[in-house]
Structure 1
Amino acid sequence: MNRRTAISTLAATGLAAALAACAPMKSTPDIVDIAASNDQFSTLVAAVTAADLVGTLKGDGPFTVFAPTNAAFDALPPGTVETLLKPENKDQLVKVLTYHVVPGAVTSDQLAGQRLNVATVQGQTVHVDGTHGVRVNKARVTSADIMASNGVIHVIDKVLLPK
């Protein structure tokens, strides 16, 4: 290899490395990014925003989120969502939302065949039944194991309400 070819090759390699270092890295989106990118979670995202929990759910985690769909929120008694979203009810909204979050990343294969009571971030426990599909309290997991950079999301068909 002559000197000119060697220098050109080195220069091209260095340029490619420099460009690669500047390019944005593709990474797995976090829990909030995944929810915000899916229209079926628009009510959940509005609630998380109203409760000032976006920063928390964008944190390192890991978290397991049992995420109710818009249809789950729509099934609540009329006026419930609107009432929870009022600024004066923020504490209650935070309790409801954090009742849907479990510390750690728990996938459906870890729940299969088990019945357990699991502590939520809110402080109370939820009953998880993984013997015939997965149920959390009376909600059914309709889509499991949506992996995020800071945890896992399981879609549920009912809103979980703390006691």
Structure 2
Amino acid sequence: MKRRTRAVWPVVLAVLSPAVLGGCESTARQDPFFVRPSTDTLVFRDTSLFRDRPLDDSLRGSLALADYSTALIQTGLMTQLQQPGPYTVFAIPNTPLEAAQTADGGHLLDPAMRPSLRRMMAYTIVPGAFTTSELRQMIAKRGGPIGLRTIDGDILSVSIEPGTGELLLGDTQGRTSRIWLSDMPQSNGVLYATQSMLTPGVVASGQVPATIR
């Protein structure tokens, strides 16, 4: 169900209802909720994103990424995205974060959970600016999945999904997530949005693809 009212920012996960957050995820191969009105602007879930703005500005201004922004602020990572970088950010929309909050019994934003939340949010941020075409070139050059090292040193894998040819993110538990919003250039990096939430974990021997950075 598409949200018809605008929530007051910042949105706290613990008080959001599934009805408010519903409709964010899609099983469609291409995101039906964004359009490119020009080479400088992209509209994502009724929010305009601009190439000349920094990552933190775009994240704060997006209703669909309000919960992700709240988590970044609470963990201190939003401040890092104000820096020159560059950074590649794989932002998590509201619905996957609401699901994680529910699965955690509503304690995801508790002060005691702050270290775990920080690591989960850091897993979405990679030093360097990687566009879709650059990621595809690196995958083709290696002949298989590549690994991007996040700001906390964990490995986020990127591969091409057989059959569809789409980019696919993966964590060390074998879970995958499709790209929802692809490589929107920002003044200090590149912004993506994913269709689900991935988490870092213990790496099994031989499980990690070749690391680019």
Q: Out of 136-145 and 122-131, give the one that drifted further.
A: 122-131
> Helix, strand or coil: the match of 2:185?
strand
Higher relative contact order (CA 8 A, sep 6+): 1
CA contact (8 A) 2:92 2:196 kept: yes
| Equivalent residue in structure 1 for 2:66, among 42, 60, 84 | 42
2:193 corresponding residue in structure 1: 155
1:133 aligns with 2:166: yes
TM-score under structure 2 length normalisation: 0.60
Taking only aligned residues, the RMSD between alpha carbons, in angstroms, comes to 2.0
Q: Which has the larger radius of gyration?
A: 1
Q: Residues 81 and 38 (structure 1 numbering): CA distance in 2 closer, same or farther, change over 3 Å?
A: farther
1:83 and 2:139 correspond = no
8 Å CA contact 1:75–1:158 kept in 2: the answer is no
Cα 1:105/1:33, change in 2 over 3 Å: same
Structure 1 alignment gaps of length 5 or more: 1-25
Residue 79 of structure 1 deviates from its aligned partner by 4.8
Q: What are the superposed Cα offsets for residues 106-126 of structure 1, whole Å, 9 maximum, x if unpaired?
A: 000011262211211121101
- Kept after mapping to 1: 8 A contact 2:158/2:168: yes
Asked if residue 99 in structure 1 is aligned to residue 129 in structure 2, the reply is no
Q: How many residues align?
A: 138
Which of 61, 64, 75 is the matching residue for 1:51? Answer: 75
Q: 1:22: which partner in 2?
A: none
Q: Distance in 2 between matches of 1:92 and 1:74?
A: 16
Maintained 8 Å contact 1:31/1:58: yes
Match of 2:21 in 1: none
2:133 paired with 1:109: yes
Task: State the shift of 1:77 in Å.
Answer: 6.1
Sort the Cα spacing of 1:27 and 1:106 in 2 relative to 1 into closer, same or farther, 3 A. Answer: closer
Counterpart of 2:184, as a letter, is I
Question: What are the Cα deviations for residues 68-107 of structure 1, in whole angstroms up to 9, with x where unaligned?
Answer: 1112213336153842211222111111111111110000
User: Contact between 2:51 and 2:184, CA under 8 Å: does it hold in 1?
Assistant: no
Report the secondary structure of 2:107's partner residue: helix
User: Which has the larger share of helix?
Assistant: 1
Aligned residues: percent identity? 25
Give the TM-score taking structure 1 as reference length. Answer: 0.78
Inter-partner Cα distance in structure 2 for 1:58 and 1:110: 24
- 2: distance between equivalents of 1:157 and 1:140? 6
Alignment of 1:142 with 2:180, yes or no, is yes
Counterpart residue type for residue 94 of structure 2 = N
Q: Indicate the larger mover: 32-41 or 80-89.
A: 80-89
3-state SS of 1:78 partner: helix
